[in-house]
Amino acid sequence: MPSPANLKATAILDYQSSVIRKLALALRREHSKDRGLLKASHRYLVHAVRPVYTLNELQPASRTINQQQGSCSQRMACLEAIARASDIATRARALRIDGRFWYPRFRYVRAFIPKSILLLWPQFFLDGDWLNFDELYGSLAELGSRATQKFTNDGESLFDAIDHTPVDFLAKTSRPGCPAADFDLSRFVLADEGFFDTRDEVFERFGSLQDSLRGRVFEAIFGGRKSSSPGHPGPGECVSTSAK
């Protein structure tokens, strides 16, 4: 069950700001069901907040929405903030991902990619249970049965992909006979750091890649730059927190 911490406003999930409250109220007027509201919020962010390179994971969600641009991870924070403004509890699962997962995006500058990177994967409390971000539009088996291609991390972002293809870091599609078996990405998961009530807590515990020398160099070169193609982020778009 969620705790009060799963609904509170934080420095990053600053849903008390007027921009997020107005957006959440407008979406709620159109969608009485929580899951419908979350899907509508996701679609809004896909179209209204363009993907850019950045490691500024501590940026408040309201600023990302106001600027109409943000990393994949920043857009996940925006979705969490809208959810909390709509009385939908959220939490984050911190997965340590092999840096090689991002090699297809930055083939010629792999020196910028650490050996492991923490990815914050949101969860939402719906119908008495926690729902993973990757299953917002249906189970991974359902998504896999109608997907035209697997997620290869050399095109659209994780944030954009979850509405039409499985993005499976938790080996949920590895069961024999599952139509989405080819979508299993668990081989890239080096460690599961567990669940946190807020994204802010993850940064407090592990630190932020943006504060490292490698992160500052990356931000100086790529920060704020538009992706090379629609929905195509670099490592600064879908990664967050500390790296090893």
Integer Cα distance of 58 and 56 in angstroms: 6
Alpha helix locations (H) across 87-231? 140-146, 158-161, 199-206, 213-222
- The tens digit of pLDDT for each residue in 92-134 reads 999 999 989 988 877 766 777 788 888 999 999 999 999 999 9
Integer Cα distance of 165 and 147 in angstroms: 5
Residue 45 lies in domain: 4-243
pLDDT for residue 241: 45
Token pair in block for residue 96: 């340590």
The answer to pTM > 0.75 is yes
Q: pLDDT confidence of 85, banded at 50, 70, 90?
A: very high
Q: Assign residue 75 a region (left: φ > 0; alpha: ψ between -120 and 50; beta: otherwise).
A: alpha
Work out how many domains the chain is built from and give that number: 1
pLDDT for residue 232: 37
Token pair in block for residue 210: 């943006």
- The tens digit of pLDDT for each residue in 147-156 reads 888 898 887 8
